[in-house]
Structure 1
Amino acid sequence: MTFKKLIIAASAALTLSTQVVAEELKFASFTPPFHTINASVIEKLNADVSAATNGSLTVRGYHGGELGAGPAEQYVRVLQGAADLSWGLPGYTSSQFGKTMIAELPGAIPEDMPGYEALWRAYDKHLSGEFPATKPLALWTSEPNIFIMRNKVIRTPADLAGLKIRVAGATAAKVASAFGATPVQMPASQIYNAMQTGLIDGVITGASTLRDFKLDEVADSLTLGAPLGRLTFYTVLNAGVYNDLNAEQKAAIDAASGLGLSKSAEDAWLQTAKEALEVARADSANTIVELTDAEKAAFTKAVSGVVQSYVKSVDGAGALAAMQGK
């Protein structure tokens, strides 16, 4: 064999070796690629991990339920190995995340306090047991929830009496019930059709959904300022997959996750919400209600017992105190 052929053979062997060593983590997402999660978590995680490992470990997003349909099944999808990573809302499987969802309650986390910091403060001692067989890479909250309505304008709790209001999970359901509304739990991906067809009258959620789920196309009234809490989110990695990584890859995952990745997600949600609200305000077809302090007080009074009742039901006093930095 000539020297040139030896070089070619060696190069081919090296390429094959690199291909064998390189590993791709599959990140399942139930939303389309334009959703806020993509740039703020999936692409960021890939860029950081790939750079730290010289490409031996990458993260690839599989969008729109490509690895399996069903937003509520995201956590199970990781446990079963259909995906290595996924993101989701604890509210979709509320019974699993009883203490984590304390963060969603009105006033549980002050509006000027970053939600991701509150969640991580409580994680080790109070929340870790709610994330079995996974390694959480990011925990964060949304922008403050608002009322997003179709053909209904909300100014007082009485305006909600008898209305069907979509909620993400158990905590928001208790809030809706306190206002006299009928809570209807469903994933965000189903809101558009449910609102368009009149199955629901509106939704308690963040303004980012106006863009991420195109709710601006079916809603015509927004009420801002009511004490409606926030949503919580997670990104998790299969613990077995993490344990099988080599030391360099584990270090890369560790460095790319935690508070930094959580902040990236929460900041992105806030920015999407801000931009979506600007667009909504500019649309003359929309009614935008910004509650006065007196009007807010009526809503606050209506939900005054919800927080204490829920926290007690999940034995969550310690978790709440940790979230609040007490």
Structure 2
Amino acid sequence: MMTTKLAYGLALATLLGITGCSNNTETASTADAATSDPGEVTVLRFSHFMTATDDLNQQIFEPWAKKIEEDSKGRLKVEIYPSATLSKPGVTYEAAAKGTVDIGMQAHGYTAGRFPLSQIVELPGISNTAEQQTCILHKLYDEDVIASEYADSHLLYMVGTGPGALHTIDKPLRTPADMKGLRIRQPSAVASYIIEAVGAAPVGMPAPDTYTALQRGVIDGLSFAWQPVRAFRLDDLVNTHTNIPFYSAALVVTMNKNKYNSLPDDLKKIIDDNSGIEIAMQAADVFDVANAEIMQEARDKGDLMIEVPDPLNDPDWSGPLIEGSQRYLDEVAATGLDAQGVYEKVKAASAACKAKA
């Protein structure tokens, strides 16, 4: 089933890429003809699924929008639409690529098969922090290892969210045996394969739906980095946590290519000067700081904390994690991509980014 999803996602990406190239040719003359009329205001609609009070929205997205407006002297205005009010969480990247929205932020894993090579970075053992994962993603993009997956949009940046953990209500998960038969929310195909490998049932759903699903017993637990536990008020429900870095989700922030190309060069430069690795690392720091704070808050209120810091060398957890990782790589390879070769490049980037930290 995953092979079909991956193949479909890649076919869709290719189609969108072709369409994007066609549109870009059409709009090139528009970009050349664009003038820097100081009286003209271009509004950019920015869609994301985080809440308005989320750390990322308040500390990164809102200041970024303000900076864009200030640097452009009011000629660019960014309107932010949080909580998936403008586009659904799983289609926001495509909405930005097609121009339904101008800028969008989406988790890579929300669309199965859409970013198969980028998601190799999610595998266990690749990163320990949001900062390291963010560094890895940008390094791979700059080295043209994963750049083709974003060819139908104008990429602004990517950011890791930090290692995922397992969170439940009164269900300690000390070994894989404790997960058998449980329904666990999964954010991506990578996490899904690993959850299946330990004998649990992965349930896919966007982050905003997890509170109600857990409250109503639709799921028994969830896999999340710590920051969204507070962002989506899950800390009101969960009280048992297994700190096991078995996957690391990431987000992509991108802009419609035609919208970008339609801007005069000076406004393009303002977008470019406020994008890239620098703001990505600022966003990563927001996740790393929040992850540590929220984990400590859980300890302080007496939640049960189970620590599995090195699962790939843990006698209970290593087998399922390796099995799940290989299943994902095999499924990507079945679509004709060099999954194993990219995996080796991912590991090399991981080592280089860890050395920088």
Q: TM-score, normalised by structure 2?
A: 0.80
Paired amino acid for 2:213: A
Q: What CA distance in whole angstroms lies between the structure 1 residues aligned with 2:310 and 2:291?
A: 22
Q: Deviations over 1:35-61 (max 9, x none)?
A: 122134312322332333222223221
SS of 2:218's equivalent in the other structure is coil
Matches within 5 A, 1:75-224: 75-109=93-127, 114-124=132-142, 125-224=144-243
Distance change in 2, residues 1:95/1:112 (3 Å)? closer
Q: What CA distance in whole angstroms lies between the structure 1 residues aligned with 2:67 and 2:113?
A: 33
Q: Which residue does 2:74 correspond to in 1?
A: 55
Paired amino acid for 2:79: R
Paired amino acid for 2:162: E
C-alpha contact 1:29 1:86 (8 A) present in aligned 2: yes
Distance change in 2, residues 1:102/1:292 (3 Å)? closer
C-alpha contact 1:108 1:320 (8 A) present in aligned 2: no
Query: Percent of counterpart pairs with the same letter?
Result: 27
Post-superposition shift, 1:196? 0.8
Q: Which residue does 1:263 correspond to in 2?
A: 281
Q: Which residue does 1:7 correspond to in 2?
A: none
Paired amino acid for 2:345: A
Q: Which residue does 2:29 correspond to in 1?
A: none
Q: Deviations over 1:252-287 (max 9, x none)?
A: 111111101111111111112112112111113x22
Q: What CA distance in whole angstroms lies between the structure 2 residues aligned with 1:132 and 1:292?
A: 37
C-alpha contact 1:109 1:324 (8 A) present in aligned 2: no
Q: Could you tell me which of 308, 321, 328 is aligned with 1:291?
A: 308
Distance change in 2, residues 1:292/1:229 (3 Å)? closer
C-alpha contact 1:145 1:228 (8 A) present in aligned 2: yes
Post-superposition shift, 1:210? 1.7
Q: Which residue does 1:71 correspond to in 2?
A: 89
C-alpha contact 1:145 1:206 (8 A) present in aligned 2: yes
C-alpha contact 2:131 2:285 (8 A) present in aligned 1: no
The question of 1:246 aligning with 2:246 is answered: no
The question of 1:325 aligning with 2:344 is answered: no
Q: What CA distance in whole angstroms lies between the structure 1 residues aligned with 2:314 and 2:245?
A: 7
C-alpha contact 2:131 2:288 (8 A) present in aligned 1: no
Q: Which residue does 1:10 correspond to in 2?
A: none
Post-superposition shift, 1:119? 0.6
Q: Which residue does 1:11 correspond to in 2?
A: none
Q: What CA distance in whole angstroms lies between the structure 2 residues aligned with 1:62 and 1:111?
A: 28
Q: Deviations over 1:230-256 (max 9, x none)?
A: 111100100111101111111111111
SS of 1:66's equivalent in the other structure is coil
The question of 1:31 aligning with 2:54 is answered: no
- The higher radius of gyration belongs to 1
Q: What CA distance in whole angstroms lies between the structure 1 residues aligned with 2:224 and 2:130?
A: 18
Post-superposition shift, 1:309? 3.6
Equivalent pairs, count: 307
SS of 2:268's equivalent in the other structure is helix
SS of 1:96's equivalent in the other structure is coil
Post-superposition shift, 1:165? 0.6
Q: Could you tell me which of 216, 228, 233 is aligned with 2:246?
A: 228
Paired amino acid for 1:258: G
Distance change in 2, residues 1:223/1:35 (3 Å)? same
C-alpha contact 2:130 2:160 (8 A) present in aligned 1: no
SS of 2:113's equivalent in the other structure is helix
Post-superposition shift, 1:117? 1.2
Q: What CA distance in whole angstroms lies between the structure 1 residues aligned with 2:222 and 2:286?
A: 21
C-alpha contact 1:147 1:204 (8 A) present in aligned 2: yes
Q: Deviations over 1:103-155 (max 9, x none)?
A: 11111335597111111111252222222421111111112111111231111
Q: Where do 5+ consecutive residues of structure 2 fail to align?
A: 1-35, 333-337, 350-357
Post-superposition shift, 1:162? 0.8
Q: Bigger CA drift: 56-65 or 251-260?
A: 56-65
C-alpha contact 2:41 2:76 (8 A) present in aligned 1: yes
SS of 1:324's equivalent in the other structure is helix
Paired amino acid for 1:235: V
